[in-house]
A and B are shown apart, each in its own frame.
Chain A
Amino acid sequence: MALPVDIEALDKAFSGIGVDEKSLISILTNSNEEHKKSLRKGSSKLFIEDAKGFERSDQSSIKILKHQFKRFRDAVMLSVLHPWERDARLIEKAIRKGPKHYNVIVEMACTRSSDQLLGARKAYHSLFHHSIEEHLVTHIKGRERKLLVALVSAYRFDGPGVNEDVAKSEAQILYEAINNGEKNKLLDHEDAIMILATRSKQHLQALYQHYNQSYDKTLAQDLEGEGILKDTVECLCTPQTYFTRVLEAAVKEDADEESKRALTRVIVTQKEQLVKEGFVPNKIQDILLGLYKDFMLASIASGDIK
């Protein structure tokens, strides 16, 4: 007979992000058929009583488990690939998977340096025999297309020398676009898209400040609920906020698979930044399990990055 503590341990080994490999080894290798039977009977999450008299796996739970086992593998892959290939593959996957994943495209286009984004575009050619913009227009028919194409095509200037007058007047253009009752047409607002897609990050950050000063709220606040537009502004102007938001969403109780995957992506791709900012994984470490947890925490442990 399996003790309740064993059943609990089994459940716990699967109840986080990643799996507790050590715990599973200890439970299952010491388990004979009778023990396993009662484990199955006791684990209502993973097994259901089949009419033909056996404890059958719950397919949807098994699927979820597969994701959990994959996490370590995915983290390793993301970590070992050349950043250009890595980002190109992330973009291609996001395009294929649909609107819920477009924020990944925004993230790639807006949080990388101009040269890194160019690199990803080159890698995309080699890997997929098309340009990113070509795939975007082929696979995305919705209104997000314009903004996404513009963002991945950017080769922003990176340097000082912002024209504050222009930044201020463009803040006004954005304000009017958002607040003149045509919020749902923002994705079609040509001037707004041009500003967000062509201006340097320094310019946009200055614009962000002007917006805040002039209108007593931040541009991000004003874009609350506007999906990738808000993501765009955050990634370009306040990337820390964006990444913190993504990490916290990953560990929420009702987090979906995509949000959880974001955890791997952000930690692996942003690790230098996170270490520099002294990111402390308090809010996330409790839910991580096993080798995956080790990999994630070691990635962001402060200490010299060789």
Chain B
Amino acid sequence: MATLIAPEHTSAVEDAEKLQKACKGWGTDEKAIISVLGHRNAVQRKQIRLAYEDLYQEDLIKRLESELSGDFEKAVYRWILDPADRDAVLANVAIKKLSPDHHVIVEISCTRSPEELLVVRRAYQARYKHSLEEDVAAHTKGDTRKLLVALVSAFRYDGEEINTRVANSEAKILHEAVKDKEFNHEEIIRILSTRSKMQLMATFNRYRDDHGTTITKNLEGDSGDEFLKTLRPTIRCLNDPKKYFEKVLRNSIRRVGTDEDALTRVIVTRAEKDLKDVKELYYKRNSVPLDQAVAKDTTGDYKALLLTLLGKED
């Protein structure tokens, strides 16, 4: 369930006017920006951008970029983009880091639906004049590269059919790999990047039934080589994306300094999807409401936007 609170009927023109007013003159009315954008879904936000362009011959996004700064600006920028475009930007940022954020690439390729991932790939090309897989390949190496390229290139079958024989044999393969820590990378990559999500769930369930523990438990820890560090989020995202997002949030807040990038990314990308469920998981796990933890760890307009997206009533 989504956490975003957005009225059903809105006027893009009125919203555009409110935003223009908020940006006019010296200083910016951030509260107005949050009160409009923080309560609009993807379709509505797109209409606002079009209306704004129409009315003022200016790109709203560029305007906001120049008016705002810091974590708040980053969050607004990501929030206002089309979901696919946003994912393309997030992927590109992750790839181009000196030490690429593999888990972000994993997150995008494994938690979006097959059709959504196709749209992301298209958006990526439109923006960066390269294919997503090309850029991933150029900035990674070894087996990690193989895994990541395979994941972003996948177009998984989205049907419900499950083959129990395959689930059985592939659960075995995965267990062998995990148990010995001698990862037969080819086989793991093959299974994780080609099977449908339903099939993988069946395989993971079979794993749990056969070995009394989930595969993610068997992969616990933070250490290991590059491949292992990329493999863990892959399996987590495919196995239970909501649990994965809860963990990312938990880690982003727990750190000595907050990991604003991760915090923003999860809240912005899930607010219209399943953030409510993730919140429930967070509360179960940490005995503290997510809103409270975020409020404690962030400040100012950035905090206000995040809380709004988390479903705070005005």
**How far is B137's CA from A197's CA once the two chains are assembled, in angstroms?**
10
Given A156-B131, A190-B146, A200-B131, residue A130 in contact with residue B121 (CB < 8 A): no
Q: Which of A53-61, A131-139, A285-293 sits within the interface?
A: A131-139
**How far is B132's CA from A131's CA once the two chains are assembled, in angstroms?**
20
Write the residues of chain A forming the contact surface with B, with a CB cutoff of 8 angstroms.
Answer: 118, 121-122, 125, 129-134, 136-137, 149-150, 153-159, 161, 190, 194, 197-200
Shortest C-beta distance, A85 to chain B (Å), equals: 16
Q: Which residue of A121, A194, A200 is within 8 Å of B155 (Cβ)?
A: A121
Q: Which of B190-198, B211-219, B275-283 sits within the interface?
A: B190-198
Instruction: Check if B118 sits within 8 Å of A194, measured CB to CB.
Output: no
Q: Which residues of B contact A157 (CB under 8 A)?
A: 125, 129-131, 134
**How far is B153's CA from A134's CA once the two chains are assembled, in angstroms?**
12
Instruction: Check if B196 sits within 8 Å of A131, measured CB to CB.
Output: yes
**How far is B60's CA from A234's CA once the two chains are assembled, in angstroms?**
46
Is residue B67 contacting chain A, with contact meaning CB distance below 8 A?
no
**How far is B131's CA from A136's CA once the two chains are assembled, in angstroms?**
23
Is residue B314 contacting chain A, with contact meaning CB distance below 8 A?
no
Q: Which of B121, B154, B157, B190 has the most CB of A within 10 A?
A: B157
Given A137-B190, A198-B134, residue A131 in contact with residue B154 (CB < 8 A): yes
**Chain B window 121-155, contacts with chain A (Cβ cutoff 8 Å), 1 for yes, 0 for no:** 11001000111111001000010011001100111
**How far is B150's CA from A183's CA once the two chains are assembled, in angstroms?**
24
Shortest C-beta distance, A136 to chain B (Å), equals: 8
Instruction: Check if B131 sits within 8 Å of A154, measured CB to CB.
Output: yes
Q: Which residues of B contact A136 (CB under 8 A)?
A: 194
Range class of the B interface residue count: 20 to 34
**Chain B window 143-177, contacts with chain A (Cβ cutoff 8 Å), 1 for yes, 0 for no:** 00110011001111111010000000000000000
Instruction: Check if B194 sits within 8 Å of A155, measured CB to CB.
Output: no
The 26 sampled A-B contact pairs (Cβ below 8 Å) are A118-B118, A122-B155, A125-B159, A129-B157, A130-B196, A131-B155, A131-B156, A131-B157, A131-B194, A133-B194, A134-B156, A136-B194, A149-B150, A150-B149, A150-B153, A153-B150, A153-B155, A155-B118, A155-B122, A155-B131, A157-B134, A159-B125, A159-B129, A194-B137, A199-B134, A200-B134
Measured CB to CB, the nearest residue on chain B to A170 is B138
Instruction: Check if B153 sits within 8 Å of A118, measured CB to CB.
Output: no
Measured CB to CB, the nearest residue on chain B to A131 is B157
